[in-house]
Structure 1
Amino acid sequence: MLMLCFRALVLTLVGCVALPAAAQSPIEIGKAYDIASRALGEHRTVNVVLPPSYAKTPERRYPVLYLIDGGIDQDLLHVAGVVQLGAMWGRSAEAIVVGIETKDRRKELVGPTKDPDLLKRFPTAGSSSKFREFLKTEVKPLVERTYRTGERSAVLGESLAGLFVIETYLTDPELFDAYGAIDPSLWWDKEALSRTAIGRVNARHKGRSLFLAIAKEQLEEPSASQRLISAIRNQGLPNCELRRSDLTHATIYQQLTPQAAQYLLPPSKPPALAFGFNLACTNK
């Protein structure tokens, strides 16, 4: 029995009341899958959060948002909550959120580098192609055979995960329908990835949309983001750019995830204007 004791202000014991113990039950937000990955050569956790209506509408199919850095102690709870709230208000579509856990982020999220200083500091860096193969051959097939997925899939990442999203957009655009990169670390390896953008963006990117948000620090040294944006504009590809000098690398993810979800997971009909969900892309 749980005993709650109450004391008078004069510190005189006035009595103890016996209350029944509160009933307990776990709060479940999704399922975690342990994948013995051939691509990575190790076990990896993939978390799946379903929309509230999933069990109630057995004929319905849902878009999927794949989240890089999607471990339970990483960005999963934040992004899954934003997606659910956005759907409640009609700002974005209901979606299945798939969180892909990362472990060694510089090993998994960046491509090869020849920079001796980077290799000295981060000797494991450079295996992003293996992580992409993991998504392509193991994660996506698992999700698509297990859940009622729709035609649209999107991927979202911030910082180094955002860099991985941009690299995937440039190298394997058919992997997802929409790409979201919030303040991607385009500075990595002396801005090497952005220098390849003009030669990589081509007809394969037709219909693949990109959400790109850049914070204060990179706007102060904008060459990398400008190369990427120029390559996309030259091909007339769908994109939404948000250049936010009022936000820093530490604040932009929390602030702009709702806008990213709105662009990556568009609702079937626009939300009411009175709600104020205007997506003011810089390039519009």
Structure 2
Amino acid sequence: MKYLFSMLLLGLFCLNNATAQQHEIPQKIESIPFSIGKTDQIKSKILAENRTLNIYLPDGYHPDSAKTYPVIYLLDGSANEDFIHVAGLVQFLTMTETMPAAIVVGIGNVDRKRDYTFPTTIAKDKKDYPSTGQSAKFISFIGKELQPYIEKNYKTNSSKMLLGQSLGGLLATEILLTSPSLFNQYMIVSPSLWWDNESLLAKAPGLLKSLPAQKIKVYVAVGKEGAVMEGAAKKLSETLKSTSLEVHFAFLPEGNHANVLHNALYKGFELFNPKK
């Protein structure tokens, strides 16, 4: 009897020991930061302030390599805005060979209403948004300071894309119409063309008469965002299609103003890079 009892205790001990070993929590060997990019701070003389650039470099990028890359310039590119999900989208579509590897430059915001809007004649907008109306200065910053900085410090080629949504889409449209050669690819999502009573949309046909000879691709997208936003985006697309530009338009009814950007860009990257 004592022998049987001893064997039972031994069996229980072995069972408990084995169970404890199965559920033992692993000890940490190492913990290192996980990063998807880098941040550069530059001083702008044009804007008279420091600006933050969040930069994603593609897999295999090396500063001493002869290989060069397209650059995607992202408005609303702060870390708490669109930089992380857009960089992730570019990484994924590069991995699946949907698009070529590219550098993403997220332009961090300081005052987007100031930087993304031209002067308005609407008294209420002037009162509600007193800092607005300085987009010309911001466009000058992009062309004279930002792009030269990126081209000097990173392995870039001649392909330059601009991404903008909402007020960023308004600015992207203004650049396309007034300084089109700054970029050769534009992705304009949910543009706030209602600004200044749609004056930019009204001026578009005249401004488009002086397009450069270079090939420029344009993608306009909008979600289910109401008659004003949807109508303006469609009208912009139709106006652009009457020119030499390569124009794509997408209406994405499953998206709204808050969440349409990611899916819109996914579709846009596919349209700009059709499978051969």
Give the alignment's TM-score, normalised by structure 2: 0.85
Could you tell me whether the CA contact under 8 Å between 2:222 and 2:229 is conserved in 1?
A: no
> Per-residue displacement from partner, 1:73-95 (whole Å, max 9, x unpaired)?
11100100000100111111110
Corresponding position of 1:152: 159
Structure with greater Cα Rg = 2
For residue 20 of structure 1, report the CA deviation from its aligned partner.
4.2
Corresponding position of 1:185: 192
Secondary structure of the structure 2 residue equivalent to 1:217: coil
- Distance, in Å, in 1 between the alignment partners of 2:115 and 2:65 is 36
For residue 28 of structure 1, report the CA deviation from its aligned partner.
2.3
Q: Which runs of 5+ in 2 are unaligned?
A: 1-19
Secondary structure of the structure 2 residue equivalent to 1:202: helix
Matches within 5 A, 1:106-125: 106-125=113-132
Corresponding position of 2:232: 224
2:70 corresponds to which letter in structure 1?
P
Corresponding position of 1:67: 74
Could you tell me whether the CA contact under 8 Å between 1:51 and 1:96 is conserved in 2?
A: yes
With over 3 angstroms needed to count, the CA separation of the structure-2 counterparts of 1:222 and 1:26, relative to structure 1, is closer
Corresponding position of 2:263: 255
For residue 64 of structure 1, report the CA deviation from its aligned partner.
0.5
**Are positions 1:36 and 2:7 aligned together?**
no
**Are positions 1:199 and 2:206 aligned together?**
yes
Match of 2:247 among 235, 239, 258: 239
Give the alignment's TM-score, normalised by structure 1: 0.83
- Distance, in Å, in 2 between the alignment partners of 1:203 and 1:221 is 26
In percent, how many aligned pairs have the same letter? 33
1:237 corresponds to which letter in structure 2?
L
Could you tell me whether the CA contact under 8 Å between 1:37 and 1:138 is conserved in 2?
A: yes
Could you tell me whether the CA contact under 8 Å between 2:190 and 2:229 is conserved in 1?
A: no
Secondary structure of the structure 1 residue equivalent to 2:211: helix
CA RMSD between the two structures: 2.3
Secondary structure of the structure 2 residue equivalent to 1:232: helix
- Distance, in Å, in 2 between the alignment partners of 1:246 and 1:21 is 44
Aligned residue pair count: 255
Q: Which runs of 5+ in 1 are unaligned?
A: 1-13, 272-284
More helix by share: 2
Matches within 5 A, 1:3-18: none
Could you tell me whether the CA contact under 8 Å between 2:120 and 2:195 is conserved in 1?
A: no
- Distance, in Å, in 1 between the alignment partners of 2:188 and 2:200 is 14
Secondary structure of the structure 2 residue equivalent to 1:201: helix
Following TM superposition, the consecutive aligned residue runs of length 4 or more in structure 1 with deviations greater than 4 angstroms are: 14-22, 218-223
Secondary structure of the structure 2 residue equivalent to 1:81: helix
- Distance, in Å, in 2 between the alignment partners of 1:239 and 1:32 is 33
With over 3 angstroms needed to count, the CA separation of the structure-2 counterparts of 1:19 and 1:255, relative to structure 1, is closer
With over 3 angstroms needed to count, the CA separation of the structure-2 counterparts of 1:115 and 1:203, relative to structure 1, is closer
> Per-residue displacement from partner, 1:207-232 (whole Å, max 9, x unpaired)?
11111002222456654234422321
With over 3 angstroms needed to count, the CA separation of the structure-2 counterparts of 1:194 and 1:218, relative to structure 1, is farther
> Per-residue displacement from partner, 1:132-161 (whole Å, max 9, x unpaired)?
111111111111011110121101011111
- Distance, in Å, in 1 between the alignment partners of 2:94 and 2:85 is 15
Could you tell me whether the CA contact under 8 Å between 1:179 and 1:211 is conserved in 2?
A: yes
Could you tell me whether the CA contact under 8 Å between 1:194 and 1:225 is conserved in 2?
A: no
For residue 253 of structure 1, report the CA deviation from its aligned partner.
0.8
> Per-residue displacement from partner, 1:225-244 (whole Å, max 9, x unpaired)?
34422321222420110022
Could you tell me whether the CA contact under 8 Å between 2:53 and 2:108 is conserved in 1?
A: yes
Could you tell me whether the CA contact under 8 Å between 1:198 and 1:227 is conserved in 2?
A: no
With over 3 angstroms needed to count, the CA separation of the structure-2 counterparts of 1:147 and 1:170, relative to structure 1, is same
More strand by share: 1
